[in-house]
Amino acid sequence: MKKWLIFLACLSTQLSFAQTEAPTAPPAPIPTDFVEEIWYKRALIYNLDVKVFKDSDGDGMGDFKGLIQQLDYLKDLGITVIWLSPFHPSPLEDDGYDIADFYKVDPRVGTEADFKQLVEECKKRDMRVIIDLVINHTSNQHPWYQAARKDKNSPYRSWYVWSKERPQDADEGMVFPGVQKETWTYDSLAQEYYFHRFYDFQPDLNAQNPDVEVEIRKIVKYWLDFGISGFRLDAVPFYMEIPQSGMKNPMLQFDLLYGLRQFIQWHKADAAVLGEANVDPKETDKFLGKYGEGIQMMFNFYGNQYLFSALASENIETFKKALIETRDHSPANQWAWFLRNHDEIDLGRLSNEAREEVYSKFGPKENMRLYDRGIRRRLAPMLGNRKQIDLAYSLLFALPGTPSLRYGEEIGMGDDLSLKERNSVRTPMQWNTQKNAGFSTAAKTFHPVISQGDYAYQKVNVATQEKDQKSLLNTIKKFIKIRSQCPEIGWGEWTILPATTSTVLVMQYKWKDKSIVVAHNFSKEKQNIQLRMAEWKGKSLQDLLNEKTVKPVAEGSYSLAMEGYGFQWFRLN
């Protein structure tokens, strides 16, 4: 680990504090042993919202003490990193993403001492904690904004973005089209328009203001000092944009991102930043940095959209193309893959035809769709077919990057489409068949527990599935265990192998002298494929799922029978 910290320190000295462009010459290549020590390369991330995970005091809202009670469950599942959604004081108009104080824990979920205890208990279990860093905007109830709107001479006035006249493009660039009406809203007290990429109760911070940048670094240092391992950086492009440059193609100030990453790493050498940035693959280098000087990780939103297109169409060609398009990055960087997160499934980059195909298959009703681009359902009810659900999770753990699980997905929790917008997938964790799914003893919970239909907590819960070896929970545990035995996927190079059909994806990973082959049939029909590799002569395929051996039918040639929605993991011996 010391070698890795030294390397990071050396890398940091090569970067200018206010750098806007990538270096013209790359630093020395990252040695193999350094790559092995980058913790996020082999991580398994579990995202949860404390407010809906486990309530320890019966007030209807989850809390840190309740989460601590469930850490052994997460350890047993195989989780190595817990990613916490916002837990700060908030009016909760946007489920906590409207923050009213960056330096405190919402008293409804605990205290700073409770948070510190959580981090310490995670360390005892060899788990890390990362938290949401929401610095694009604040709540309009934040003292900074209240001071800014009341007094033009307040030092906080310039912490936000104002305009005396309503900009011509004020009705463009909404993050939530169909719900959000504008990006500039008039404040009658301030007597000016303020800018907000998100809801009107979330005014954007003026990141171009040096005082704001200094404050952000104070926030970062404050939470790093608790011992966390990094941040999930919310809305990365919007944090960097210059609003005055227009809503359609705003200029992005990348030196803000590079400076933030550098500051975080100076303060804690092995801390990592996972970015939420739904960008075109051609823009990826600007965020990660051409030579790894940007943020360390990004969610692969681009690949995720084509993954769902492949699941809907049972054709993998565009997904294969997306994998290749998002392939190149520094060895120190990593993609994070997910099936469901806390938001809608964004399909905005698909063609109209492909998007309609996904809608037809997975979101056929209007109330299942959101923002003219996405689906607001959890995975289990969306796919509906257990075999396809298993396929999807096998694929999640077999893709080139770090897998990320949203709480409750491991038991196939459902959604509540009667709830507002994205809250449909933010219902309380279902632990058992007791009152409120064992989440809380309160008469009323923060979000309602799913208690009706096929996904009611009486039918879908942790306690029941732990006893059933064929349950989704135990199946995912098996995937996680196998993935942990395959360092090739986290660290190695990958290749898509020809499979003589457009429904089966076959990938090979190589790391040092080891090799893994994974095959996934996206079709509901059986498929027989032939794999021929000259380098495989004299070798056999060890089936990691069933502990069998597949011998070649000829030198370097293998015949695989794939069940409908089937998947196979092999180690090449």
Residue 462 · residue 439 · CB < 8 Å: no
Say which of 213, 276, 293, 416 is annotated catalytic: 276
Note whether 295 and 274 are within 8 A (CB).
yes
Whole-number Å distance between alpha carbons of 158 and 96: 24
Closest CA to 106 of 86, 89, 131, 94: 89
Q: Residue 568, Cα to own-chain centre: how many angstroms?
A: 25
Nearest to 446, CA basis, from 66, 81, 150, 132: 66
Residue with tokens 């104070």: 218
The CA–CA distances, whole Å, from 248 to 168, 173, 192, 229 equal 12, 7, 22, 35
Tell me the CA distances in angstroms from 190 to 141, 147, 162, 442, one per residue in order. Answer: 14, 10, 9, 41
Instruction: With beta carbons less than 8 A apart as the criterion, state whether 291 and 26 touch.
Output: yes
User: Does residue 121 have an active-site annotation?
Assistant: no
234 in active site: yes
The set of residues, in sequence order, having a beta carbon less than 8 Å from that of 166 and lying 6+ positions away, is 184, 186, 193
Cβ-count burial 335-355 (b if 16+ within 10 Å, e if not) = bbbbbbbbbbbbbebbeeebb
Element (H, E) at 82: strand 81-84
Active-site pick, 55, 94, 234, 410: 234
Work out the number of other CB atoms within 10 angstroms of the CB of residue 189: 10
Nearest partner of 87 among 60, 69, 114, 59, judged by Cα: 114
DSSP assignment of 228-280, as one string?
Answer: --EEEETTHHHHHEEGGG-SSS-EE-HHHHHHHHHHHHHHSTT-EEEE-----
CA quadruple 115, 121, 125, 128: dihedral, nearest 10: 20
Contact at 8 Å (CB) between 256 and 222?
no
- Owner of token pair 């002298």: 513
For residues 346 and 374, the answer to whether their CB atoms sit within 8 Å is yes
Phi, psi of 76 (to 5 degrees): -65, -30
Q: Helix (H, G, I), strand (E, B), or coil: what is residue 46?
A: strand
The catalytic residue positions are 234, 276
